[in-house]
Chain A
Amino acid sequence: MTSSKHFSVTVRVWRQAGPAEPGKMVSYRVKDISPDMSFLEMLDILNDELIKKGETPIAFESDCREGICGSCGLVVNGDVHGPDEHSTVCQLHMRRFRDGDVITVEPWRVKAFPVLKDLVVDRSALDRMIAAGGFISVNTGAAPEANSIPVEKDKAEEAMDAAACIGCGACVAACPNGAAMLFTGAKISQLALLPQGGPERSARALNMVAAMDKQGFGNCTNEYECEAVCPKEVKVANIARMNREFLLANLLSKK
């Protein structure tokens, strides 16, 4: 526990009543903040005050508040998921701020993730990409004995690194082009690295890339901002693997 000194900050928050409404930044003063509070708990306190005043509280998303569900996602002072490296905004604590700070809070501003209200955006485009091929087609009951398919330990570890993606959309929010390459690359990589995913590799790469393009995400210009902000440290090597999978599938598959 750092200190018990309580302090005040000003938060400037994006307020937008609905998808079609214009939005604007609104400032609020939040007092009596403990350094041990999480950033989202600070917003909770602000919201409780707003509710008591009869004002509409700030809509924002979060659920597990331990960095695994991927619900939360805010741009804090220009930092995607806040100033802490490789963490989600729910893991950010107020001890990172000082008395009198002005904190700018914005939603993901991505064309493919339209704002629904205030800081809540619609990330269903990511689900649509998984439906296009982010799976292995084994029906329940049809699986062989698990140890009949050995997986090289290094490959399994690499697949796990890619599978750690929490689908928060930070990579898209941070990308100068609004691209979802890291998300898509991570899923294609995970399943390409495992022998179980082998039979569908070509189709998966072609279909998921096609779906990705359809959702209105940008192109990759290899600037690696995505990797820099990813809370789960998913690497851009996964994008290269997706490129490889796609290009080979395009050249070598019969489709």
Chain B
Amino acid sequence: MNLTFIKRFITTSIGRKALMAVSGLALGGFMLVHLAENLLLFKGEAAYNAWVDLLLSNPVTPFLEVGLLALFIAHIITGVWVRVEDFINAPRGYEARKWQGGRTIGSATMLYTAAAILGYLAYHLLTFRFVDHSMGFYQMVTAAFRSPVFVTVYIAGAVALALHLSHGMQSAFQTLGVNHPKYTPLIKTGGLLVAVAMTGFALISLYYLLNIDLKAAEAGYQVVVIR
């Protein structure tokens, strides 16, 4: 059995990057689906909980969860590996150094946004996944979104995610060999749109946070909220 090709995916610079790109694109896709799920909150408690119940009762879901975990692990391992190698090989010691316009904020901060996303993910799992779900998912989520601390973390996480994807999405296509004068501009714009969409997570949580204020307004304060 010839498994050299698998070895090449893991050990060569381009193979590893391809794994990182594929897992990254898949995770990006997951984030879009997850955003759509969050939007279900607006349809009300019944709709949201029904969807969650459907998910949890589906026998495929645990496998999907494991798959998702695998994607994360693959993305993190390849990402860290690439970065460690880059750290070793990076040009070092330039007294003066100017970037020539290729770099973007997104591309230059990939490692930092990655760390932030990982922290955010851990916090997210600790607050939503590994807790008592008896109060109902809708209640759990909306209650969390009324906590300023939680929402602050959530906004920071969403911004990090947006920055990460602003480079990551189009970069993944380049890594997988897709660069075409006709399609690359579309891919770059699409990637930016996906990145911007990630701020949706922040906006949803903000909505609920501001809702508290709305209720406070009912209690006698004059707060104008434009919806």
Cβ of A35 to closest chain B Cβ, rounded Å: 23
Interface assignment of A116: CB less than 8 Å from any CB of chain B: no
Interface assignment of B175: CB less than 8 Å from any CB of chain A: yes
B98 nearest CB neighbor, chain A only = A78
B172 nearest CB neighbor, chain A only = A222
* Chain A residues with CB under 8 A of B82: 219, 221
B97 near A225: Cβ-Cβ < 8 Å: no
B92 nearest CB neighbor, chain A only = A109
A239 near B102: Cβ-Cβ < 8 Å: no
B177 near A241: Cβ-Cβ < 8 Å: yes
Cβ of B192 to closest chain A Cβ, rounded Å: 15
In the bound assembly, the distance between CA atoms of A136 and B194 in angstroms comes to 43
Q: Which of A105-146 contact B (CB under 8 A)?
A: 106, 108-112
Residue of A109, A206, A217, A222 near B174 (CB, 8 A) is A222
Interface assignment of B90: CB less than 8 Å from any CB of chain A: yes
Cβ of B173 to closest chain A Cβ, rounded Å: 8
B94 near A178: Cβ-Cβ < 8 Å: no
How many A-B residue contacts, CB cutoff 8 Å?
A: 153
Q: How many residues of B contact A (CB 8 A)?
A: 48
In the bound assembly, the distance between CA atoms of A223 and B99 in angstroms comes to 10
Interface assignment of B88: CB less than 8 Å from any CB of chain A: yes
Residue of A109, A176, A224 near B93 (CB, 8 A) is A109
The stretch of B14-22, B41-49, B204-212 that contacts the partner chain: B14-22
Q: Which of B42-77 contact A (CB under 8 A)?
A: none
In the bound assembly, the distance between CA atoms of A236 and B98 in angstroms comes to 20
Cβ of A50 to closest chain B Cβ, rounded Å: 21
The stretch of B2-10, B120-128, B147-155, B157-165 that contacts the partner chain: B2-10
A241 near B93: Cβ-Cβ < 8 Å: no
A242 near B100: Cβ-Cβ < 8 Å: no
- Given known pairs A222-B167, A223-B108, the reply for A228 and B102 (CB within 8 Å) is yes
Cβ of B89 to closest chain A Cβ, rounded Å: 4
B94 near A217: Cβ-Cβ < 8 Å: no
In the bound assembly, the distance between CA atoms of A210 and B15 in angstroms comes to 11
Interface assignment of A237: CB less than 8 Å from any CB of chain B: yes
B98 near A77: Cβ-Cβ < 8 Å: yes
* Chain A residues with CB under 8 A of B108: 176, 223
Q: Which of B163-194 contact A (CB under 8 A)?
A: 167, 170-171, 174-181, 184
B89 near A240: Cβ-Cβ < 8 Å: no
In the bound assembly, the distance between CA atoms of A80 and B104 in angstroms comes to 18
* Chain B residues with CB under 8 A of A227: 102
B99 near A75: Cβ-Cβ < 8 Å: no
* Chain B residues with CB under 8 A of A75: 94, 96-97
B110 nearest CB neighbor, chain A only = A221
A216 nearest CB neighbor, chain B only = B89
B90 near A177: Cβ-Cβ < 8 Å: yes
B13 near A220: Cβ-Cβ < 8 Å: yes
Cβ of B139 to closest chain A Cβ, rounded Å: 43
Interface assignment of B132: CB less than 8 Å from any CB of chain A: no
A244 near B171: Cβ-Cβ < 8 Å: no
Residue of B16, B95, B174, B181 near A236 (CB, 8 A) is B174
Most buried by B among A78, A221, A226, A245: A221
Interface assignment of B91: CB less than 8 Å from any CB of chain A: yes
In the bound assembly, the distance between CA atoms of A39 and B171 in angstroms comes to 37
B8 nearest CB neighbor, chain A only = A250
- Beyond contacts A25-B95, A109-B94: 5 other A-B pairs, Cβ-Cβ < 8 A, are A111-B88, A218-B88, A218-B90, A251-B5, A255-B4
- Give the 8 A-B CB pairs with smallest separation, nearest first: A244-B177, A240-B179, A78-B96, A224-B102, A218-B89, A228-B100, A177-B86, A78-B98
Show 27 residue pairs from A and B whose CB-CB distance is below 8 angstroms, ordered by the A residue. Answer: A75-B96, A78-B97, A79-B98, A106-B95, A109-B92, A110-B89, A177-B85, A178-B89, A210-B12, A216-B89, A218-B86, A223-B104, A225-B99, A225-B102, A237-B181, A239-B174, A243-B17, A243-B174, A243-B176, A244-B176, A244-B177, A246-B12, A246-B14, A247-B14, A248-B177, A254-B2, A255-B4
